[in-house]
Amino acid sequence: MKSQVVIIGAGPSGLLLGQLLHKAGIDNIVLERATPEYVLGRIRAGVLEEGFVGLVKEAGVAQRMDREGLPHGGVKVAFNGEIRRIDLHKYAQGKQVIVYGQTEITADLMEARVASGAPSVYEVENVEIHDLMEDAPYVLFEKDGEQQRIDCDYVAGCDGFHGVSRKTIPETVRKEYEKVYPVGWLGVLSDTPPISDELIYGVSDRGFFLCSMRSNTRSRHYVDVSLEEKVEDWSDERFWDELKNRLPDEVKNDLVTGPSIEKSIAPLRSFVCEPMQYGRLFLVGDAAHIVPPTGAKGLNLASSDVNYLYRVMLKVFKENKPEAIAQYSSLCLRRVWHAERFSWWMTNMLHNFGDEIDRKIMNSQLDFYTGTEAGLRVIAEQYVGLPYEEVT
């Protein structure tokens, strides 16, 4: 087989990149180790920046998102028993975010991929990437016990933290940075109406909480727990009681409880791999970076990588500028480190990791950044997402 671009990974970043390239007339093949059903079963993020929304529209896959997505012009922060609203429209030049689940985006992209006729191969094994420093790299994989080969021009590694792409870069070339936080987020998905029309991030004497949603009838709630906790020890009743004990009085009675659809504990960490490119291989999304979910940057940061790689590929294939690939890693990493810093800062400000003086300082930060014009602007501009740089 031959293709201009091989995309390893059929999550939202791989599928979005594939759809954009296909619409631009750039051949690509998507390889995925799991089944489509498994990919769709992963419960992930749901807050989309305008940059991500714009890419989905450019890919021609925004119809259901436009119809069912929930525009949010603000976000709320609860501390000291009160709730303060950050007006995104006011403090971020009229921008907003859209709440639309990652599962829904992935389903839309899968459907568009099938409709386009562009090839996807699921349930592949033993993927190997070869000759990345040469002019003609190739990818080997096994499907139904038979080894197959794809000759290509470039490889996009969209296969997540545990995938083969990052590990293909020699250890002498890549440098990895990691910080593991001392808590995890216990999350519950339920078919219950949201407690508020906007997300509420909060901190209480009992710990962090987040009241989020996937739609007007489906909610996603979180509380932080120690890394020693096991999800099977948390009954629905215990979770709802704990969440209610953390909520401010003004919204406690608005909480509607119900059976959980999904329940899990996600550890919090920050991770970055540099560089994000090795020869003709480009790392995209979780293959290169992980952020704690506090700043709602994980999926949006992956879409930022997709944006830059797509623009680079347009330069290469449509303008005959192969030298454009040299920009990719530096363009991505500038935005990655900004998002890492914002996510780290939000995480520390909303969790109790230190001693009493640290908590007092974090409380003072919350007061400043949610109570002054300058502070509100800082949070709003970063929450809606920094603008993409131009690819030259």
Catalytic residues: 72, 201, 293, 297, 383
Residues 6+ apart with CB under 8 A from 258: 190, 191, 192, 236
Beta carbons within 10 angstroms of residue 135's beta carbon: 9
Q: Is the Cβ–Cβ distance between 163 and 10 less than 8 Å?
A: no
Q: Tell me how many degrees the CA angle 291-294-297 measures, rounded to the nearest 5.
A: 50
Q: Distances in Å between the alpha carbon of 8 and those of 96, 121, 366?
A: 31, 10, 41
Beta carbons within 10 angstroms of residue 257's beta carbon: 17
Q: Give the CA dihedral 129, 131, 133, 136, nearest 10 degrees.
A: -110
Decide: residue 116, CB within 10 A, 0-12 exposed, 13-18 middle, 19+ buried: middle
Residues 6+ apart with CB under 8 A from 39: 10, 11, 32, 106, 110
